[in-house]
Amino acid sequence: MSLKTLILAAGKGTRMKSELPKVLHKVCGVPMVQKIVDTCSKIGSIDNILILGHKKEEILKVLPNVDYVVQEEQLGTGHAVIQAKEKLKDFDGTIMILCGDTPLLREETLKKLYNYHKETKAITTILTSIYENPFGYGRIVKENGNVIGIIEEKEATSEIKSIKEVNAGVYCFESKELLETLDRIDNKNEKGEYYLTDVIAINVKDGKKVEAFLLEDNDEILGINSKIELEKANCIMRDRINLQHMENGVILIDKNNTYIEEAVEIGQDTIIYPGALLQGNTKIGEKCEILGNTRIIDCEIGNNVRVESSVLEESIVESKVTIGPFAHLRPKSHLKEEVHIGNFVEVKKSVLEKGVKAGHLTYLGDATVGEKTNIGAGTITCNYDGKNKFKTTIGKNAFIGSDTMLVAPVNIGENALVGAGSVITKDVPENALAVSRSKQVIKFDWRK
């Protein structure tokens, strides 16, 4: 296939009113421009070239390996394409041009557009759609059913404004013709910009074949220029993602109030309650229950896990674990099967072996806890001396009484028992009892 794509992403995005470059705003967790590049990579194009300008360094941080050219001054979409001239001059094929701000476009749509362009042997093919309220988009002007040009909102007369077929901002061009025609566009318009869309009228004058490929689903071509449109795109994308999960067998109680990012995988019969936020490369197994007010990011979760009102980050949770309410798993934690962590328990960079229970008000950091050990309420691994972090190791079947401070580095042996309220600074051997607290004193009738 002789296809290259060109993605325009140099503009300031003034209407977005943001410090962040417009195309880096995220739709369901993915920066718009990244989404477009990903989609383009799937349609068999041999090169995807970005046009970058405004805050290009920030965009390159997100897409470090992308091929790009710089448009120093943003003088319009036509001017943007001219910047790629050097790169494209020896290329004899089709160039698909897209905008960095239309993240909802589907792979199938782009493939269909390309095939249509090839089948009709057009020089230029424009992706179009019908909008009841076409405000802001370029209008497709036709004569006897043939496209004769695109007119932008700013230049549109009231008659043109009433046209509902709009330019999606996606086109297929034959490269040689495009490069020649671009030399002939000017900036004599309301915005003083070089419009890529002016190429169409020139094509028509030259007697070249221009086609419009009409897309039924007009949601797909939504261009994101403002925060209002960004919210709209998030809603549409969220719906797509959520419907797909339900089709795969996931139960969503309220699809409009469940926030699942694109890369997340969820197994059959898992129930997701309203208000859940599932992010990054999270994988959730089957028959889990994820209750509201839970945020899970980059975690791997087994089957039959229940999580309530908790935050889980970059951790592994095996099957039949229960978490929460109000627990916090911080990065690099690993909860093995049947572990329970409950109310106000924080775990960081720790391994909790099978069946460990820490039900209440506990901090376990840089620790390993052996199978079936019970951690009493208010236990804290004191892992930090102000400069360095130290490890706590607790053997299996141990019992740590409530309100215990385990001053790391420290080891508690298998089957050991630590009395409530202890401050443990020395290792406790297996099977031993350790108590470290002042003896209780009673003074009778003291109040009198």
Question: Active-site residue numbers?
Answer: 360
Q: Please pick, from the candidates 96, 140, 196, 290, the single residue that binds ligand UD1 as defined by CB under 6 A.
A: 196
Site for Ca ion, residues 96 to 115, rule: CB under 5 A: 101
Site for ligand UD1, residues 352 to 411, rule: CB under 6 A: none
Q: Which of the stretches 37-45, 76-84, 216-224, 410-418 binds Ca ion when contact is defined by CB under 5 A? A: 216-224
**What is the SS3 string spanning the chain?**
CCEEEEEEECCCCHHHCCCCCHHHCEECCEEHHHHHHHHHHCCCCCEEEEEECCCHHHHHHHCCCCEEEECCCCCCHHHHHHCCHHHHCCCCCEEEEEECCCCCCCHHHHHHHHHHHHHHCCCEEEEEEECCCCCCCCEEEEECCEEEEEECHHHCCHHHHCCCEEEEEEEEEEHHHHHHHHCCCCCCCCCCCCCCCHHHHHHHHCCCCEEEEEECCHHHHCCCCCHHHHHHHHHHHHHHHHHHHHHCCCEECCHHHCEECCCCEECCCCEECCCCEEECCCEECCCCEECCCCEEECCEECCCCEECCCEEECCEECCCCEECCCCEECCCCEECCCCEEEEEEEEECCEECCCCEEEEEEEEECEEECCCCEECCCCEEECECCCCECCEEECCCCEECCCCEEECCEEECCCCEECCCCEECCCECCCCEECCCCCCCCCCCCCC
Taking CB within 5 to 8 Å according to partner kind, which of Ca ion, ligand UD1, none is near residue 220?
none
- 80 counts as binding ligand UD1 under rule CB under 6 A: yes
- 9 counts as binding ligand UD1 under rule CB under 6 A: yes
Task: Specify the residue, 10 or 400, whose C-beta has the smaller distance to ligand UD1.
Answer: 10
Task: Specify the residue, 223 or 395, whose C-beta has the smaller distance to Ca ion.
Answer: 223
Taking CB within 5 to 8 Å according to partner kind, which of Ca ion, ligand UD1, none is near residue 370?
none
- Minimum CB–partner distance for residue 196 and Ca ion (Å): 12
- 137 counts as binding ligand UD1 under rule CB under 6 A: yes
Q: Please pick, from the candidates 29, 31, 76, 149, the single residue that binds ligand UD1 as defined by CB under 6 A.
A: 76
Q: Please pick, from the candidates 31, 78, 223, 355, the single residue that binds Ca ion as defined by CB under 5 A.
A: 223
Q: Please pick, from the candidates 109, 167, 218, 383, the single residue that binds ligand UD1 as defined by CB under 6 A.
A: 167
- Minimum CB–partner distance for residue 408 and ligand UD1 (Å): 52
Q: Which residue is nearest to ligand UD1 (CB)?
A: 138
- Minimum CB–partner distance for residue 25 and Ca ion (Å): 12
Binding footprint of ligand UD1 on the chain (CB under 6 A): 8-11, 23, 51, 71, 74-77, 79-80, 99-102, 137-138, 150, 152, 166-169, 195-197, 223, 225
